[in-house]
Amino acid sequence: MPLQPHRLALPALVALPLVMASCADKDEDTGTPYCAPTGDAGADQSVAFGNTVDLDGSASGYAENCRQDLELTWQWAFDAVPVESAVDAAALTDNGTTTASTTSFVPDVLGTYVISLQVCDELNCSDVDIVVVEVSSTDAPPVADAGADVTTEAGLRTQLDGSGSYDPEGAELSYSWALSSTPDCSQLDSSDLFNQTTASPSLICDCEGIFVASLVVSDGLQWSQPDYASVTCTSGNQAPIADAGDFTVLPPCTEDVIELNGYGSYDPEGEPLEYIWSVVSVPTDSATDDASFDDPSRANPTFAWDVEGDYTFQLEVYDGELWSAPDIATITVQSDDDNTSPVANAGDNQSTDATSSCSSSSYVWSCDDCDPQDFELDGSGSFDDDGDSLTYAWSDPTGQVSIGSPQSASTVVYTPAMASSYGTATRYSWSLELEVADCAYADSDSVTITVNCTGSQ
């Protein structure tokens, strides 16, 4: 009986390669280990307001020894925005997609924006990574002017005037008035200001005393520093008016003592005044306080400052019965970083002729020395663009020339005697140096003086 093929094994033989192929694919997938992706939201940024912020998470992905074949999606979100901002995740372009490795948004207000990024594949998501975007403005802040202090009677409507406020770039302003302080007898608060979002609100005092109104203005980007106006309400003796002086900017190289000026203070009835000055604020690194006044009870005390920055002072005056509203003055001491170097000018080069007497003996000429010569040097053409006071220093590198006033802008210098030769002009020259300096920088210039010394009979 002939042998028949063993067909029972065929199905198993056919199926086996399929199973083996499937296992081979899985082994290939797992031959490189799988790792969760890593999110990278990019470096922190500082951006000028009005510009688009571009975010770049393209550095996200997998470690080099991990599988790279899975598709990623990028999910960006705002973790924190400025209080007045209305942006949200919808402001981010192309977000939550496989192409959102880069995205962008347009900030709507100044401030700090904190954005998070998480990248995911079909198996896992990365930890959240954060990028911080600081949005600032080159726009100068507006300046509030609450107007002059006012004296009125209780029960009368009194108008304030903030029309002197302005924006350096000419932007339209919005106004916000508030009552910073009221007398103990008053029940008023900021809501009792009429038209408090206009340039000219009004107030009706409900008792005698001093009401202080503050004004801040906005150009749409930034708010100003507050300015203050007092409303003194009285039915008899009027309170005195304190005047702490104007806002002042002191240039670099200013002496470290400020003189304040409260002489503009007055009493409506002409009563003599008592003065009391105090410190409102000083720069962060300053160690100064009220003890830095020489005498805070004077109309014009001095104050010893220690670091550059803004110093704000308060003055109150007393007529023997009533105290004034406080008046504020800010003095800004500019940093030496804002200082420019002076420019030295030693003047024009100068020359003169000198002669000496000569005699001969046996056809050999013998000549006296030429006498010392004097020159007047003028360095007054030196200048400093900041208006800083200058020091002057004249010098002669050779040490041969005598300088009359080496520390003055102008000086007379004297040459030494000079040897001469009969019938020949011998040229003697000296280059003198002038150095001028302010408190931080110095500059130098030179001037040449020349004497042509000739011997003659």
What average pLDDT values come out for the chain (457 residues) when binned by 10 residues?
A: 33 31 38 88 89 91 87 92 90 84 90 93 92 86 94 88 92 94 93 94 91 93 92 83 92 86 94 96 95 96 94 96 93 83 95 93 88 96 88 96 96 96 93 92 95 92
Among the listed residues 43, 62, 57, the one whose alpha carbon sits nearest the alpha carbon of residue 97: 57
Could you tell me which residues are beta bridge partners of residue 403?
Answer: 413
Q: What are the C-alpha distances in Å from 431 to residues 26, 415, 420?
A: 90, 12, 21
pLDDT, residue 12, reads 33
What backbone phi and psi angles, to 5 degrees, belong to 13? -70, -35
DSSP E strands in 165-255: the ranges are 174-181, 202-204, 209-218, 227-233, 248-250
Task: Indicate yes or no: pTM above 0.85.
Answer: no
CATH code: domain 45-136 is 2.60.40.10
Q: What are the C-alpha distances in Å from 361 to residues 231, 364, 454?
A: 102, 5, 19
CATH code: domain 240-338 is 2.60.40.10
pLDDT, residue 28, reads 42
pLDDT, residue 155, reads 81
pLDDT, residue 11, reads 33
The CATH class of 350-456 is: mainly beta
Would you call 376 helix, strand, or coil by DSSP? strand
CATH code: domain 140-236 is 2.60.40.10
CA angle 378, 382, 386 (to 5 degrees): 155
Adjacency order of strands within the sheet including 227-233: 150-152, 227-233, 209-218, 174-181
| Phi-psi map region of 84: left, alpha, beta (phi>0 left; psi -120 to 50 alpha) | alpha
What ranges do the domains of the chain cover? 45-136, 140-236, 240-338, 350-456
pLDDT, residue 18, reads 31
- List helix spans (H) across 136-249: none
Query: Is there a common fold for 45-136 and 140-236?
Result: yes
pLDDT, residue 113, reads 95
As to burial, measured by CB atoms within 10 angstroms (0-12 exposed, 13-18 middle, 19+ buried), residue 277 is buried
